């Protein structure tokens, strides 16, 4: 039996966006016991993206393993000029160990560099330790932590940021 074939591709096929919502809802209730308000948040993020992304500034990717969707990540324009947001990173529990999370984040960061953003931010929660280690390895740094009650759980929200230089420019230019 050969090695599983892993592919990162644009999230542009029928069913991709619906899969993102479903996979988040199923995985977060199974792993963390979060309630349906998390799936509703994911649905709003996906709906906003689907309503009209600017392809020069926003993108989404799906990870496949042997032709089956197993992961995703989104890049959307942030609230502040020059800032992108990494959203909705997910790798199915059964597909972990193939470095798909790392590859998805790298794809997103490369897109952000090429799009000319100066920084990328993301918001996550403390139980997501595997994602946190991917973000830190990619150069993100923790900006702040705030306790909150969301998704039926007591959580510590975390904001991370990655300072960027545009593609082809040395750091500090």
Beta strands of the chain (E only): which ranges?
6-10, 59-65, 68-77, 83-91, 119-125, 141-150, 153-163
> Could you read off the pLDDT of 31-44 as tens digits, one per residue?
999 999 999 999 99
| Mean per-residue pLDDT, 135-156 | 96
**What distances in angstroms separate CA 140 from CA 27, 105, 145, one per listed residue?**
24, 11, 14
| Mean per-residue pLDDT, 72-78 | 96
| Mean per-residue pLDDT, 80-93 | 96
| More confidently predicted of 169 and 80 | 80
Fold category of 6-163 in CATH: Aminopeptidase (3.40.630)
pLDDT given at position 2: 57
Q: Categorize the per-residue pLDDT at 147 as very low, low, confident or very high, splitting at 50, 70 and 90.
A: very high
3-state secondary structure of 53: coil
Q: Give residue limits of the domains in the chain.
A: 6-163
pLDDT given at position 133: 95
> And the tokens for 86?
């990494």
pLDDT given at position 4: 75
Instruction: Give the C-alpha separation, 163 to 173, whole Å.
Output: 12
| More confidently predicted of 3 and 75 | 75
pLDDT given at position 13: 97
pLDDT given at position 166: 56
Instruction: Give the C-alpha separation, 155 to 3, whole Å.
Output: 38
**170 Cβ partners below 8 Å, 6+ apart?**
none
Q: Which residue has the tokens 């990173």?
A: 89
| Mean per-residue pLDDT, 136-164 | 96
């Amino acid at each position: 039996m050969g090695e599983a074939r892993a592919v990162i591709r644009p999230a542009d096929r029928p069913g991709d966006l619906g899969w993102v919502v479903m996979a988040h809802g199923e995985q977060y209730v199974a792993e963390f016991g979060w309630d349906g308000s998390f799936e509703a948040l994911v649905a709003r993020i996906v709906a906003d993206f689907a309503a009209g992304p600017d392809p020069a500034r926003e993108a989404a990717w799906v990870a496949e393993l042997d032709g089956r969707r197993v992961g995703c990540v989104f890049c959307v324009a942030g609230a502040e000029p020059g800032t992108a947001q990494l959203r909705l990173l997910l790798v199915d529990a059964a597909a972990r160990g193939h470095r798909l999370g790392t590859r998805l984040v790298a794809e997103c960061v490369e897109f952000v560099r090429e799009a000319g953003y100066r920084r990328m931010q993301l918001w996550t929660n403390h139980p997501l330790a595997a994602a946190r280690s991917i973000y830190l390895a990619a150069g993100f740094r923790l900006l702040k932590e705030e306790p909150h009650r969301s998704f039926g759980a007591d959580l510590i929200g975390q904001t991370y940021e990655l300072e960027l230089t545009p593609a082809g420019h040395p750091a500090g230019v």
